[in-house]
């Protein structure tokens, strides 16, 4: 909405914002108390918002609290693979975080997801389906809940915006904005896109031929139809927040990750930042939360939806203060403006801190086309979980999904990836090193330091390791750090690429030394045979540990087969090949876990078993 679209019908109240200055994320307690007293905060100098520079996120204390969120999903239609992808990214981040200090960190981690159930879009979808809105919401919300449960999304909270606790939070948040003089009544006149639930300036509207060939106005970005709207609404003084938002981003160069999205937001902040209409007439939009004290208006669905992140952590109760500054939102690129401009501005307006981090991902297309009901190409994620297994499909989406660019989905790609990386490379490696023929004692064999000395230059006559073997050891030793850095940068696919590359290197190591040609009976071969298997099993232990956030059941199967107990699976104490570095190895000589079949069976490509698409 452009400022020129808003004609003030009431004189704007003298705002508290004049005295409000930018709050510190780190000063949550003080801030919370001030907010509770309805005060604004003065900072002696310009604060840095919890960031410690470009590598800040990497060094967050594992015992510190962390709160991850997915977007809440519209219930106008059944879930698709893009929705699942959003949830899995957040799940993997959260699981990785918990592994950094299992126990303590797990207790200090919250992870919310849920459904966005109000607004014109849902009101219209319910009318089209001939259902009361509440019934449509119940049905579709249950589908999301089931999907996420089936896909192993380890959320601690599932919120629905139709819940009473949420209504109370939204109304409280509204009152906080009003108390600070940030809301006024004005005439909104402009375009509204119900599918995207957003206001659009003329420049963002284009014309497309409609059913009768006449030009119809649509959103230039999404292609969805827009309608001209003229009504008196409550308006939020968004325009006052340009400088505070810029400062937030300047001081927190990693606030929005990956970096191109942060640049995009900074660019938006160079443009016009008009005030924002935050309510609709209830005669037009009845399916929502009424404006406190004015039943003739319904709160704008985006304001309603964004507050879900506060509701989950108990806002406005005291409990939320200890979670709020630690928030990391995972979102798709289409909802960046809502999360990176409107939301931080609303939070600052209510006297709260902007989110700690916003992780942004791109979209999935299907065989090169945008998924859409009208094209009939919306891929049903539940049938993908059935067809490829839960771990298989989680691995595919997270291994192939690149946050910076859109990714394309098609069946053959899934089958090829899973067969080569999970079934052949990883499963084959485990099988080779644990098979009865190769490892008749069924134990983690001993490592022989004279066969594989720490310094290649000091090698004696019995040394057998070569340059490529040392390269393998240093690659796998560096892997946990590399994976952690990739997670911090929201490049989970790169973390998986790095694991996969090390799996290939380990297969090369086994192939090179062909343990099947060595004999346990030979006093010359046996120490080297044990060493080859020991190194390969150590590599597998690292891979299994690092894969837990992405393929939890497969990783569990792998680690159990290696005899790694539940308390030995954290990232905190993950020491690779301690014997090589002269330390004792707790696994050496330990009995392997029971054989439980193939780690990941190959998918049968010839079987014409196509994944279901939702009917149009
Ligand atoms: N309800 C809002 C979010 C409110 S959050 C306070 C919404 N819902 S949505 O159901 O349309 O989208 C939810 C998430 O799914 C968004 O992050 C969106 O980017 C993501 N995806 C929707 N289609 C997608 C793909 N095709 N691919 C990947 N993610 C996609 O927006």
Q: Is 479 exposed, middle or buried (0-12, 13-18, 19+ CB in 10 A)?
A: buried
CA distance 6 to 185: 9
CA distance 249 to 243: 10
Whose CA is closest to atom 10 on ligand 1? 73
The segments of the chain whose pLDDT lies below 50 read 1-57, 59, 606-608, 615-616
Cβ–Cβ under 8 Å, residues 299 and 161: no
CA 316 to chain centre: 25
Strands 109-116 and 73-74: what pairing?
parallel
Note the pLDDT of residue 294. 97
The half-sphere exposure of 436 on its side-chain side, counting CA atoms within 13 A, is: 4
Cβ–Cβ under 8 Å, residues 363 and 409: no
What pLDDT, in 10s, does the model give residues 330-387? 999 999 999 999 999 999 999 999 999 999 999 999 999 999 877 889 999 999 999 9
- Tokens read off for 609: 């078993």
Note the pLDDT of residue 24. 33
Residue of 334, 407, 614 best suited for mutating to test ligand 1, as the one with most atoms within 8 Å of CB: 334
Whose CA is closest to atom 29 on ligand 1? 82
The H-or-E segment that residue 247 falls in is helix 242-251
Note the pLDDT of residue 161. 98
Q: What does R_g of the chain's alpha carbons equal in angstroms? A: 28
Note the pLDDT of residue 611. 58
Note the pLDDT of residue 612. 58
Task: Name the pTM for this structure.
Answer: 0.89
> What are the angstrom distances between the C-alpha of 189 and each of 192, 233, 235, 241, 453?
9, 10, 12, 22, 76
CA 235 to chain centre: 31
CA distance 122 to 184: 27
Q: Where are the alpha helices (DSSP H) in 437-490?
A: 467-488
- Find the residues whose C-beta lies inside 6 A of ligand 1: 71-74, 82-83, 85-86, 116, 305-306, 308, 331-332, 334-335, 363-364, 371
- Tokens read off for 248: 């937030």
Ligand 1 centre from 322 Cα, in Å?
28
CA distance 615 to 329: 31
Whose CA is closest to atom 13 on ligand 1? 73
Q: Where are the alpha helices (DSSP H) in 427-466?
A: 428-434
Note the pLDDT of residue 42. 27
Ligand 1 centre from 415 Cα, in Å?
26
CA distance 136 to 610: 28
The H-or-E segment that residue 327 falls in is strand 327-332
Note the pLDDT of residue 229. 87
Whose CA is closest to atom 19 on ligand 1? 332
CA distance 308 to 314: 10
CA quadruple 252, 255, 259, 262: dihedral, nearest 10: -90
Ligand 1 centre from 71 Cα, in Å?
7
Measured from the CA of 306, which atom of ligand 1 is nearest?
6
Report the percent of the chain where pLDDT is more than 70: 87
Ligand 1 centre from 82 Cα, in Å?
7
- Tell which residue, 97, 136, 142, 144, has the closest CA to residue 119: 136
Cβ–Cβ under 8 Å, residues 235 and 186: yes
- Tell which residue, 590, 592, 510, 576, has the closest CA to residue 542: 576
List, in sequence order, every beta strand (DSSP E) within 10-86: 66-69, 73-74
Whose CA is closest to atom 30 on ligand 1? 82
């Amino acid at each position: 909405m452009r400022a020129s679209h808003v004609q003030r019908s009431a004189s704007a109240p003298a705002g508290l914002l004049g005295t409000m200055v930018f709050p510190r994320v780190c000063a949550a307690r003080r801030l919370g108390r001030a907010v509770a007293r309805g005060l604004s905060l003065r900072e002696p100098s310009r604060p840095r918002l919890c960031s410690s520079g470009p590598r800040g996120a990497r060094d967050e204390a594992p015992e510190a609290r962390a709160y991850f969120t997915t977007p809440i999903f519209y219930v106008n239609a059944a879930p698709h693979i893009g929705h699942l992808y959003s949830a899995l990214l957040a799940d993997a981040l959260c699981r990785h975080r918990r592994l950094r200090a299992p126990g303590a960190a797990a207790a200090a981690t919250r992870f919310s997801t849920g459904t966005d159930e109000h607004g014109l879009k849902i009101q219209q979808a319910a009318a089209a389906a001939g259902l009361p809105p509440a019934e449509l919401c119940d049905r579709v919300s249950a589908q999301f809940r089931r999907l996420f449960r089936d896909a192993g999304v380890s959320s601690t909270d599932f919120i629905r915006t139709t819940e009473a606790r949420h209504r109370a939070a939204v109304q409280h948040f509204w009152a906080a904005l009003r108390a600070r003089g940030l809301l006024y009544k004005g005439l909104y006149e402009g375009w509204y896109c119900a599918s995207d639930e957003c206001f659009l300036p003329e420049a963002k509207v284009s014309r497309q031929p409609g059913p009768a060939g006449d030009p119809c106005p649509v959103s230039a970005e999404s292609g969805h139809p827009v309608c001209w709207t003229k009504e008196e609404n409550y308006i939020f003084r968004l325009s006052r927040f340009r400088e505070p938002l810029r400062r937030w981003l300047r001081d927190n160069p990693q606030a929005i990750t990956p970096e191109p999205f942060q640049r995009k937001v900074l660019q938006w902040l160079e443009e016009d930042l008009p005030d924002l209409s935050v309510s609709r007439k209830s005669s037009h939009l009845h399916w929502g939360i009424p404006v406190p004290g004015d039943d003739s208006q319904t709160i704008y669905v985006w304001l309603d939806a964004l507050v879900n992140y506060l509701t989950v952590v108990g806002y406005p109760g005291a409990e939320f203060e200890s979670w709020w500054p630690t928030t990391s939102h995972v979102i798709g690129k289409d909802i960046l403006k809502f999360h990176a401009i409107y939301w931080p501005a609303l939070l600052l307006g209510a006297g709260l801190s902007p989110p700690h981090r916003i992780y942004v991902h791109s979209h999935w297309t299907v065989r090169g086309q945008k998924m859409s009901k009208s094209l009939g190409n919306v891929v049903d994620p539940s049938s993908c979980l059935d067809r490829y297994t839960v771990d298989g499909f989680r691995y595919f989406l997270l291994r192939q999904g690149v946050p910076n660019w859109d990714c394309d989905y098609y069946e053959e790609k899934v089958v090829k990836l899973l067969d080569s990386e999970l079934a052949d490379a990883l499963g084959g490696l485990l099988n080779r090193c644990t098979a009865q023929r190769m490892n008749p004692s069924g134990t983690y064999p001993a490592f022989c330091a004279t066969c594989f000395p720490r310094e290649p230059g000091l090698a004696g006559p019995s040394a057998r390791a070569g340059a490529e073997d040392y390269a393998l050891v240093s690659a796998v030793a560096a892997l946990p750090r590399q994976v952690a850095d990739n997670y911090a940068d929201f490049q989970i696919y790169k973390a998986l690429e790095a694991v996969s590359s090390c799996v290939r290197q380990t297969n090369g190591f086994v192939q090179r030394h062909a343990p099947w040609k060595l004999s346990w009976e030979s006093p010359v071969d046996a120490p080297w045979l044990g060493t080859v298997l020991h190194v390969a099993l150590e590599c597998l232990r690292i891979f299994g540990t690092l894969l837990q956030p992405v393929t939890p059941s497969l990783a569990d199967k792998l680690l159990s087969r290696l005899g790694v107990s539940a308390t030995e699976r954290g990232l905190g104490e993950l020491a690779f090949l301690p014997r090589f570095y002269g330390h004792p190895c707790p696994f050496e000589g330990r009995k392997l876990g029971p054989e439980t079949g193939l780690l990941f069976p190959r998918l049968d490509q010839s079987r014409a078993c196509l994944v279901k698409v939702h009917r149009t």
